[in-house]
Amino acid sequence: MTVLRASEGWLEKRGVDAPKRSSELLLGSVLGVDRLQLYLDHDRPLDEQERAAMRALLVRRGEGEPVAHLIGSWGFRDLELEVGPAVLIPRPETEELVDVALQLLGEREGVDVLDLGTGSGAIAIAIASERPGAQVLAVDCSQNALAIARSNAAGNDVGERVAFAHGSWWDAVEPGRTFDLVVSNPPYIDPSSAEGLADDVKRFEPPLALFSAPGDPASCYREIAAGLAAHLKPGGWFIAETGLGAAEPSREVLATTAAMGSVELRGDASGKPRFLLAQRADS
């Protein structure tokens, strides 16, 4: 398709990452078709309205705006999730975090899961979708993020098994409520390291979901760890995503947290230390 080739070349000249995939996703969004159908209809002409819509999206992509924001959704495992400036765009590493969570849960029925800092709801919704025996509470301090997460839960048919609560970490959780699994992808990037981030991340994704306290990449892990003894069942697990200078500091936080037994820092598919696992002692 001539439009695809021209779009790819235009984006490539502007230094956009993955210009071919960007062009495919944008044109697919304009035409309302998936990638396969796009190529099956490779000789389909665009009308002027479609051309104008595609040009507008290309200009925004050329200025660095993420494709996910331009099309309004992003794939995560087998889910399609609404995204926007209020939430992080789900990453492949977070899909791996869900794999870890599912392994720990096994096929048990009646398990209670807490997702702290749920954002788009990706983790909570994926767990509920793939483990029908789980009841999930998803917490976030952003009302805008929670609105997106609720919409995503309903759109992926798990709205009855994912509850939502507004507040900062444990403030949103009822006193005395306990969980078999607590999972989180908290902010862990020191603001002083922001220059190392991709430009579209710095400009378009929410700082609230990215950055730790200045000089303390483990700040959020410390806040979460403070509530584990009260809210994690004996033998229950806490797992979290980490990275970019926070891996070892966050491991140290969990290793010195009362009531927690084994602590492990596990690598992701590329071998980078990415997943923090800590199990509460049985008693």
Q: How far apart are CA 213 and CA 222, in angstroms?
A: 11
What pLDDT, in 10s, does the model give residues 69-112? 999 999 999 999 999 999 999 999 999 999 999 999 998 889 99
CA dihedral angle for residue 114, residue 115, residue 116, residue 118, rounded to 10 degrees: -150
Q: Is 204 exposed, middle or buried (0-12, 13-18, 19+ CB in 10 A)?
A: middle
What pLDDT, in 10s, does the model give residues 222-240? 999 999 999 999 999 999 9
What pLDDT, in 10s, does the model give residues 141-160? 999 999 999 999 999 999 99
